[in-house]
Structure 1
């Protein structure tokens, strides 16, 4: 039921057995990992809300046999569903969204409906439920847009480069307004290229690491958009779960806050290929094609603020995380 390689270190100080938590998008990649952590450390009640359009039932199927897990198949675009989902809940982790820059370019309307209207529904439902102690949501490094500043520092943003980036920026703006107008103080975690177990390599908009792992396992050459020198602050999922847990517990929150959630390291796609050759023992070369519309060339996060405010310290560095991800895909039947 639990991945023995993950979450062997606890990141919480409160007694989770006394608290009820809602995870929207809880059948998705990050959401289901958060559910796994909460279950491993005996949370009192975990409610999962997911419409299964971008999440997968197999990510949570085993969990649903447990008495402290509740699953609602519903859509955040429906306000009544959001209101029902937050009833009796103390902590909300809002992971539900439509990710992917290419998907947003091909279908900006649906991306807007889910990421903006759905987010506003959840924020309003939380506003109307006084029992909720903390609303933590998945923000995005895409908010930095065309800013060439490195490392990326909260408060120094550029203009969005895709419809997806626009939606994640609007989330932050709404959360800030709800803090000032209604006193609902939320924490947004700007994720930087999260990867790890339960991230689907077969999704039409699959991220680069699951795709590359699948290619190496199958003995095929991965395709790189651009010259391979594109770099990212790839962040293993356990680090992101740590950030969510610490955000729940942050008691000094007096306004809306946004924190970079990353490792503070920079890895190029060419470097990743070299590491995968070592992990797999296969001498596979990449194919190169045109750069992708809406992408930035380089990304690197400053994690100074989240470290200072939340006590966040990334535990899993890139090479270790890539090994864990590769091992997961090697054993997983979907590959």
Structure 2
């Protein structure tokens, strides 16, 4: 995309830059000749992994810092042209077990990042990674941006606060910001040693290890998925297009699938494996949202984004990646 030439020589900061999506974005920005700084806490509970950038480690600056540190953020945002604000606590269960930490990372830290920008770099453009989780249990499908917002867990409430702080600073302080509501992002680099980032990670790990894929409930819950390269495209497009400023956009896919069929598809691609339908753990059942898939018409019509990678192709690339690189992602 010719507009991506705007990133050539641009200064770009990515929070959560050693994580799954952040590292994939960094790789693309390096190809576009941007000057990339990655900020990541590398706290083991979260998604950061130095192997995610092993191939570009000499072409990016890495700053081991926590978004909860206002002094670090005040320093890092200076002179940056773009901030991709991807750092976050993503586990829904962790948010219920430790709500204060989720609040600190997903809400309080976001406010201090925005304050750092207001005081040190009001000309920056920010793209914030939000989540479909803010909608809660859908009233209708596919879910568009006008759907009522009723989060079912602490994570959804705090991510919503973080998102709206960005919109507020856009509207009041004219710090250009927008938010993308991500659905299930998957691909090489995602956390697979547990389900803290996405359930698909532990499914892939179990498949490769010859363990059963455990499908909770009846397995008929519908979900949509975005391959990570499509999400990177959306982030880049939102960063350079002024039509994005002050807006929220759903990502999503025209492909949606129930979890039982998803497990079967993984087994078909891998040519081995089994899945088991098992009862929901009580803590997960309490916050399950049932069927969900997004309507992404708004970002398609406004910014021209649509996903390109099919679910089958994306899963194939993901499985191949972890077969080759499992030692860097397993416990």
Encode CA deviations 1:155-186: one digit per residue, 9 max, x unaligned.
Answer: 22231100000011112221222122212231
TM-score, with normalisation over the residues of structure 1? 0.91
Asked if 1:323 is matched to 2:313, the reply is no
Report the counterpart of residue 312 of structure 1 in structure 2.
305
C-alpha contact (below 8 Å) 1:223/1:289 kept by paired residues: no
C-alpha contact (below 8 Å) 2:128/2:178 kept by paired residues: yes
Q: Which of the numbers 251, 255, 258 marks the counterpart of 1:261? A: 251
Structure 2 gap ranges (5+): none
Report the counterpart of residue 7 of structure 1 in structure 2.
none
Structure 1 gap ranges (5+): 1-9
Please say which of residues 78-87 and 131-140 is displaced more in the overlay. 131-140
Q: Which of the numbers 79, 87, 110 marks the counterpart of 1:88? A: 79
C-alpha contact (below 8 Å) 1:29/1:199 kept by paired residues: yes
Asked if 1:214 is matched to 2:205, the reply is yes
Asked if 1:104 is matched to 2:118, the reply is no
Please say which of residues 303-312 and 173-182 is displaced more in the overlay. 173-182
Q: In structure 1, what is the Cα distance between the partners aligned to 2:227 and 2:102?
A: 25
Q: In structure 1, what is the Cα distance between the partners aligned to 2:289 and 2:233?
A: 27
- CA RMSD in angstroms comes to 1.7
Report the counterpart of residue 218 of structure 2 in structure 1.
227
Number of aligned residue pairs: 322
Q: Which of the numbers 255, 265, 281 marks the counterpart of 1:275? A: 265
Q: In structure 2, what is the Cα distance between the partners aligned to 1:239 and 1:300?
A: 16
Q: In structure 2, what is the Cα distance between the partners aligned to 1:302 and 1:194?
A: 15
Report the counterpart of residue 56 of structure 1 in structure 2.
49
Q: In structure 2, what is the Cα distance between the partners aligned to 1:305 and 1:11?
A: 22
Task: Identify if the C-alpha distance between structure 1 residues 154 and 206 changes in structure 2 by more than 3 Å, giving closer, same or farther.
Answer: closer
TM-score, with normalisation over the residues of structure 2? 0.92
Report the counterpart of residue 189 of structure 1 in structure 2.
180
Cα shift at 1:71: 1.1
Encode CA deviations 1:177-232: one digit per residue, 9 max, x unaligned.
Answer: 21222122311000001111001211462522121111111111111221111121
